[in-house]
A and B are shown apart, each in its own frame.
Chain A
Amino acid sequence: METIFTDVLCIGAGLAGERVAIEAASAGFETICLSIVPPRRSHSSAAQGGMQAALGHSAMGEGDCPDVHFEDTVKGSDWGCDQEVARLFADRAPEAVREMAFWGLPWNRVVPGRSTYFKGGKQYEKVEATEKEGLITARDFGGTAKWRTCYTSDGTGHTLLYTMDNKVVELGVRVHDRVEAISLIHDGQTCSGAVARCLKTGKLRVYLAKATLIATGGYGRIYRETTNAVINDGGGAIIALDTEVVPLGNPEAIQFHPTGIVPTNILVTEGCRGDGGTLLDVNGQRFMHEYEPEKAELASRDVVSRWMTHHIRTGLGVKSPYGDHLWLDIRHLGEKHIKTKLREVEEICNNFLGIDPITQLIPVRPAQHYTMAGVRTNKDGAAYGLKGLFSAGEAACWDMHGLNRLGGNSLAETVVAGKIVGEKIVEFLKGYEVQYNTAIIRSGVIKQQERIERLVSGKNGNDNVYEIRSAMQDELMERVGIFRNGPDLQKAVENLQEIHERAKKVGLRSNGKGVNPELTLALKIQSMVRLALCTAYAALQRTESRGCHAREDFEARNDRDWWNRTLATWREGDDLPTLDYEPATQVVELPPGERGYGVCKIISCDGDVIGDGTS
């Protein structure tokens, strides 16, 4: 068995993983990153919009500061976040943006003078200050009081990731790409690395490390319709959950975005609606204004997603081989506007749908977008339950997003948390020595080898892994989606438990040799279903509506009973997760109140009912 020793093992080479690696390597610690794909293909590259940091250089961002950013973040989280972390984040975000600029990121800059912009389909004018010329500028994003989102055209995530990986190459940090971690090596107290499978040869390999980091991104692929990359299928969450001691924080917190295109669920930007695009049903009729007379299509992400789903359920969706959908109509915006302001949308429509949005309708429906859920860590990024295990980025529940994250805050999180957690790992490592227990390592490896053998030989059974994944994805989509209610969630939990049983009986149809893709999936299917169960079960228990978690049978946000965070662990042999709860935040800088948007009915900490539930 090939065994590799290192000080720091970063599982994941997206923005978060690489930022941590840079910090550790700069401090002189030997660092290795693992990634399923070459690092620059990590899904961070897909983010287009931008990264939030309160620089306040642009005219519309004047007066912005970390305090305002902090408030926006807490409100965005629907008071589900850890306020100490949100504060730490907001304070350090500007520095992170500047550091990326120093490393070569081509941020868009302030161009002084008059210019126009659109809001709600109307045109306005702004004037950028001359003395700010050439400083990093920002654009508007949902849920923020100021224009705060720093960007590089429509490729912010891409440039961030390329700049980050350039730094990684400069420092000589090794990235073992096409290596997938399949289990953590631990004794119930300390984590000492991971067993990984090489996706070039299919062979197992052992990585022993003093500090191990999970930075594997989101796991949207447990849902059928998601804007996430195909590799975002929960590898990091799985290896944490499999330890039986490391909890997932808020597994019910899953964000949906209203406009994924059908069939591939690629994201088309909110700008379409921002600039005046409308949503139509099977009869070519607008419907959002009937549900939301005031804001119509421009209500917040979760609200629009909810009504779209509702409308499809009433039978007014458009039938297609890929399921029902609705139309996004931007034809009336005109060719000129589409070709300049919505260029990327036009390209996506041309490339992936073969349609021309200037003359044709765009098929859309809400799609899973972001997992606020993740490996629960303290504010230093240290995972609960195991010493030497850390987590950062979308994979982690650090937790600055609570029950809903703001657009632009997750790219910022990867870089800021990456830096902070990196610093903490360096502190942790100073003077830290370990002894590796070979018995534990060997049994860890043998366990994985046996799993592979059983799958290949069909000893467990011969259930089809793709069918099981499909069943799980349908279940989540159908009953643990945008709207949730007790009976549906109950049903989902029962069905998922059944699927979980089937997942134990998977057998391969192919020979399993080499980098067999069927084996890759089969190795994690069972734990994927467990992730799904964590989400469904935690959603069932949380009898309130907060952020993205919308219970039809409990419409109010209930600060009296549910101002807390779910912690889910899985004990081997169980068929449900064990749920525990902790207060959402120890430090309260901003007491719970109204967000200022979305449904507004709150049961306060004292039990008073505020608002009437209409938006």
Chain B
Amino acid sequence: MGRRLKFNIFRYNPQDPDSVPHTDTFYLAETESMTLFIALTDIREEQDSSLQFDFCCRAGICGACAMMINGRPNLACKTLTKDLPDEITLMPLPIFKLIGDLSVDTGTWFREMNEKVESWVHTSKSFDPSADEERMDDAVAEEIYELERCIECGCCVAACGTANMRRDFVGAVAMNRIARFMLDPRDQRTEAEYFEIIGTDEGIFGCMGLLGCEDVCPKHLPLQDQLGILRRKMGWSAVKELFRFGK
């Protein structure tokens, strides 16, 4: 307690022709249980009211506030200043389009991702409002939920070397989404259909196993395991195809 925190914050407003990318420094007296949400709000209200950043739920559940905190992507709202050194450097997430200062456009990226992986249940059935729901094993429901916990914050994408080098790489988040639907008995897509979406160099075969995703995911999704399973599944699917052509 009683520390004086130094914040180095990336600044650039693309909408202002006079603005150039630079770093601004702010000082703030640390208070008890201070999070970066409290700190940044304070800086905006007391020191520089043009500072742009994104918070929404401020409870670590909506994924709006991901940024590079001393070099690592994380949710700013659930980062306590007491876990950080006296000097804190904040940068916007890479890869996503910069809106201004610490704010980036994750919405467009994730909508495209969701369209690309066709993130919905594909079924030929139609809903019958008068019938009981289809039964499902509770264990299966929980398994699906485990993967559905992703909050689309973008940390895994920002921390991925592959995604940083190759803009067409879909990232761990998309692979996790596919894994979620493969688990779901309601989704009638075949393995071949999944393969078409994800069995490419933009998908699972582009992943180099760098595991930045696994190590930064603020929701601790089992990304490493899912990527492994997916690569094996897609790999086998291709091999099976090879032998089918042979016949």
What residues make up the interface of A, taking CB atoms closer than 8 Å to B? 37-43, 45-46, 95, 97-99, 101-104, 106-111, 133-137, 152-153, 155, 158-159, 162, 165-167, 169-170, 175, 177-178, 199-202, 229-231, 262-264, 266-267, 320-322, 348, 351-354, 465-466, 508-511, 513-518
B88 touches A (CB below 8 Å): no
Which of chain B's residues has its CB closest to A172's CB? B115
- Name the residue among B13, B14, B184 with the largest chain A CB count within 10 angstroms: B13
Per DSSP, are chain A's interface residues mostly helix, strand or loop, or mixed? Answer: loop
Judging by beta carbons under 8 Å apart, are A264 and B59 in contact? yes
Q: Which residues of A contact B108 (CB under 8 A)?
A: 177
A101 in contact with B134 given A107-B141, A229-B57, A510-B48 (CB within 8 Å)? yes
CB distance from A422 to the nearest CB of B (A): 14
Residue from the list A137, A230, A264, A322 in contact with B56, Cβ < 8 A: A230
Judging by beta carbons under 8 Å apart, are A153 and B120 in contact? no
Judging by beta carbons under 8 Å apart, are B80 and A354 in contact? yes
Per DSSP, are chain B's interface residues mostly helix, strand or loop, or mixed? Answer: loop
CB distance from A99 to the nearest CB of B (A): 6
Residue from the list A266, A321, A511, A515 in contact with B103, Cβ < 8 A: A515
Judging by beta carbons under 8 Å apart, are A106 and B145 in contact? yes
Q: Report B78-97 CB contacts with A as 1/0, cut-off 8 Å.
A: 10101100000000000000
Judging by beta carbons under 8 Å apart, are A167 and B49 in contact? no
B182 touches A (CB below 8 Å): no
A103 to B144, CA, bound (A): 14
Judging by beta carbons under 8 Å apart, are A515 and B52 in contact? yes
Judging by beta carbons under 8 Å apart, are A515 and B15 in contact? yes
Judging by beta carbons under 8 Å apart, are A159 and B58 in contact? no
Judging by beta carbons under 8 Å apart, are A103 and B49 in contact? no
CB distance from A164 to the nearest CB of B (A): 10
- Name the residue among B19, B31, B49 with the largest chain A CB count within 10 angstroms: B49
Judging by beta carbons under 8 Å apart, are A466 and B105 in contact? no
B35 touches A (CB below 8 Å): yes
Judging by beta carbons under 8 Å apart, are B31 and A104 in contact? no
Q: Report B128-152 CB contacts with A as 1/0, cut-off 8 Å.
A: 0101111111101110110011011
Q: Which residues of B contact A37 (CB under 8 A)?
A: 54, 56, 62, 64, 107
Residue from the list B129, B131, B148 in contact with A159, Cβ < 8 A: B148
CB distance from B33 to the nearest CB of A (A): 5
A231 to B56, CA, bound (A): 6
Give the segment of B37-45, B197-205, B206-214, B224-232 that binds chain A: B37-45
Q: Which residues of B contact A508 (CB under 8 A)?
A: 49
Can you show 22 pairs from A to B with CB atoms below 8 A apart?
Answer: A37-B62, A41-B62, A43-B56, A46-B59, A101-B134, A102-B125, A104-B121, A106-B141, A107-B136, A108-B138, A152-B141, A153-B142, A166-B121, A169-B115, A178-B99, A200-B105, A229-B56, A264-B59, A321-B31, A321-B32, A513-B50, A514-B14
